Amino acid sequence: MSVRQPPRKTTRFRQLLNSTGLEFLLEAHNGITAKIVEEAGFSGIWAGGLCMSAQYGVRDSNEASWTQVLEMLEFMADATTIPILLDGDTGYGNFNNVRRLVRKLEQRGVAAVCIEDKLYPKTNSFIDGDKQQLADVDEFCSRIKAGKDAQADDDFAIITRVEAFIAGWGLGEALRRAEAYHAAGSDGILIHSALSRPTEVLAFQKEWAGRSPVVIVPTKYHGTPTEVFREAGFSIAIWANHLLRSAVVAMQDTARTIFRDQNLQSVEDRIAPVKELFRLQGASELQEAEERYLPRQQARSRAVILAASRGSALGELTEQRPKTMVKVRGRPLLSHIVSAYNAAGIKRINVVRGYLPEAVDLPALTYTDNRDYADTSELVSLAMALDADPDDSMDLYVSYGDVIFNRYILDALRESDDEISIVVDTEWRESVNRGRAADYVTCTQPHSRRTFYQPAFLERAAEDLPEDRIHGEWMGFLRVSSSALPRFRAVVAAMAADPANRLAKLHHLLSSLVDRGERVRVHYTTGHWLDVDSLEDVVAAGSFA
């Protein structure tokens, strides 16, 4: 099946040039103005030397190099779908420079070039036009021929600009030159005039009698009704500098106002909103592309850290601060946890505080305060955090304020295809031997090589499982994908609403999820985390961090 391609920009310019009606090009001088021209409805763009040089802050006298012009043209071509006609001045040199120019323009997606019969470096036609020296006709024809021979695309157009009127010569010289350029292969004539009435261009058009399309630039004879140009049969009228001239007035006014007022109040309503710049830049396309190309969790995850308890087992260390703010290697535990989340691209983090909330004050976090922390437990804290942020568009990670971990743990969860997943440590015996409180789990199968191919799911989580049923220790990490978040939220809210669950822990929630038919995927791992419950753990945390 063949896919029909839209016509090339070169072809579209040629259609404009050869169409029977009068067509219009408007000036643009950078990417955003090119886009504005296209959005206004124009079928083509004039990349004028006057405005391209002015936007660089230099004169229209080849002070900006031709490659600097080329750079800007590339932005303009990328930003638009309509053809660009470059004002190529004199072609920036002789025949050799012109043929290289043509090849480069084709490579950058420029549809056509106009070259004028003057000498490099040129000057703008409206500055002392009659002092300007015209090129030798034969030499200029060599520029045209070399340019035409260089083009790879048959539809690329070379317009030749006759400056005879500008330089003070008459109609005869203009026609003699136009005839020679036409014979050399020029695709159309731009006849220029600095008079305030269109007498010269109309006289030329009459005598030329349609030997090739004729383009005009009515900057000086701006009072002429467009109907006159149409009736005379001109091919294209170029509005050559009007965007930059309008922008200059607007910018001067804004600059003066802000300077005078030293505030933004009087300009804000008169200028484009920032959103409009984003739109012109195509920001939404990038957002869509990010959805398509970036790992989903990285851009769309948030975390809740449960850190309400004091941690009385740490004694004096938690007299002035809760456990999550106890320092390990000079930084609070919480800061280590936040760094691990940040390293995994998770920036939106809510911390549930309880004991001495004002002591938990790290920047760039949001906080939810559980004032009943002394009489409630983890489930209630989690319910409060979920209530405080009803956003279900992001995946949710939950962990504890006293568990430090390696980023690897989050990666294991991130790669999970299941809606609800947990990480379980296979080295649970040490906790049993030391008699420490831990959340043990029974799964559909113990850890083995098989679990790589055949995933394990949670059956039960509790602190008091019989040893022969323990498959691992849950370290408190839970990931709920955005798709499961509304269901998850409902279960948490229902459980938290029951006064019997005031002291429920997260392992109760896990078991309850399983009882309600949710599949909780288990990822087995070994190590990479540390639960700080005792002074001994604080010391161990020093070497872990």
Residues that bind ligand SPV (CB under 6 A): 48-50, 60, 87, 124-126, 217, 219, 240-241
> Residue 217 binds which entry of ligand SPV, Mg ion, none, with Cβ cut-offs from 5 to 8 Å by kind?
ligand SPV
Active site residue: 60, 87, 402, 439, which one? 60
Length of the chain: 545
In the complex with ligand SPV, which residue's Cβ is closer, 126 or 278?
126
In the complex with Mg ion, which residue's Cβ is closer, 86 or 306?
86
Q: What is the 3-state secondary structure (H, E, C) of 482-495?
A: CCCHHHHHHHHHHH
Question: And the tokens for 204?
Answer: 């030329």
Q: How many CB atoms lie within 10 A of CB 253?
A: 13
Q: How far is the CB of 126 from ligand SPV (least distance, A)?
A: 6
Q: How far is the CB of 192 from Mg ion (least distance, A)?
A: 9
Contact 61, 92 (CB under 8 A): no
Helices marked H in 307-406 — which ranges?
A: 333-343, 378-388
In the complex with Mg ion, which residue's Cβ is closer, 49 or 332?
49
Bridge partners, residue 398, by sequence: 304, 478
Q: How far is the CB of 48 from Mg ion (least distance, A)?
A: 5
Q: How far is the CB of 240 from Mg ion (least distance, A)?
A: 8
> Residue 241 binds which entry of ligand SPV, Mg ion, none, with Cβ cut-offs from 5 to 8 Å by kind?
ligand SPV
Burial of 269 (0-12, 13-18, 19+ CB in 10 A): exposed
Q: How far is the CB of 60 from Mg ion (least distance, A)?
A: 6
In the complex with Mg ion, which residue's Cβ is closer, 87 or 402?
87
In the complex with ligand SPV, which residue's Cβ is closer, 116 or 419?
116
In the complex with Mg ion, which residue's Cβ is closer, 114 or 396?
114
Q: Which of residues 326-365 bind Mg ion (CB under 5 A)?
A: none
> CB-based contacts of 238: which residues, under 8 Å, 6+ apart?
24, 25, 26, 27, 46, 48, 85, 190, 215, 216, 217, 218
| # residues contacting Mg ion (CB under 5 A) | 2
Q: How many CB atoms lie within 10 A of CB 142?
A: 16
- Find, among 522, 337, 510, 514, the residue nearest to 426 by Cα: 522
Q: Read off the DSSP letter of residue 474.
A: E
In the complex with ligand SPV, which residue's Cβ is closer, 165 or 488?
165
Contact 441, 522 (CB under 8 A): yes
Q: Which of residues 31-70 bind Mg ion (CB under 5 A)?
A: 49
Reply yes or no on whether 87 is catalytic. Answer: no
- Find, among 398, 397, 399, 404, the residue nearest to 336 by Cα: 404
Q: What is the 3-state secondary structure (H, E, C) of 522-545?
A: EEEECCCEEECCCHHHHHHHHHHC
> Residue 219 binds which entry of Mg ion, ligand SPV, none, with Cβ cut-offs from 5 to 8 Å by kind?
ligand SPV
Label residue 185 left, alpha or beta by phi (over 0 means left) and psi (-120 to 50 means alpha): left
Note whether 87 binds Mg ion by CB under 5 A. yes
> Residue 97 binds which entry of Mg ion, ligand SPV, none, with Cβ cut-offs from 5 to 8 Å by kind?
none
In the complex with ligand SPV, which residue's Cβ is closer, 240 or 396?
240
Q: How far is the CB of 289 from ligand SPV (least distance, A)?
A: 36
Q: Considering only the stretches 79-87, 126-134, 191-199, 399-407, report the one whose residues sit in contact with Mg ion under the rule CB under 5 A.
A: 79-87
The sign of the torsion formed by the CA atoms of 51, 53, 58, 61 equals negative
The CA angle 522-309-361, to the nearest 5 degrees, is 100
Q: How far is the CB of 123 from Mg ion (least distance, A)?
A: 10
Displacement of CA 13 from its chain's centroid (Å): 31
Note whether 91 binds Mg ion by CB under 5 A. no
Q: Read off the DSSP letter of residue 151.
A: -
> Residue 350 binds which entry of Mg ion, ligand SPV, none, with Cβ cut-offs from 5 to 8 Å by kind?
none
Q: How far is the CB of 414 from ligand SPV (least distance, A)?
A: 55
> Residue 240 binds which entry of ligand SPV, Mg ion, none, with Cβ cut-offs from 5 to 8 Å by kind?
ligand SPV
Note whether 88 binds Mg ion by CB under 5 A. no
Q: Considering only the stretches 83-91, 343-351, 453-461, 464-472, report the one whose residues sit in contact with Mg ion under the rule CB under 5 A.
A: 83-91
> Residue 439 binds which entry of ligand SPV, Mg ion, none, with Cβ cut-offs from 5 to 8 Å by kind?
none
Task: Report the interface residues with Mg ion, using CB under 5 A.
Answer: 49, 87
What positions carry a catalytic annotation? 60
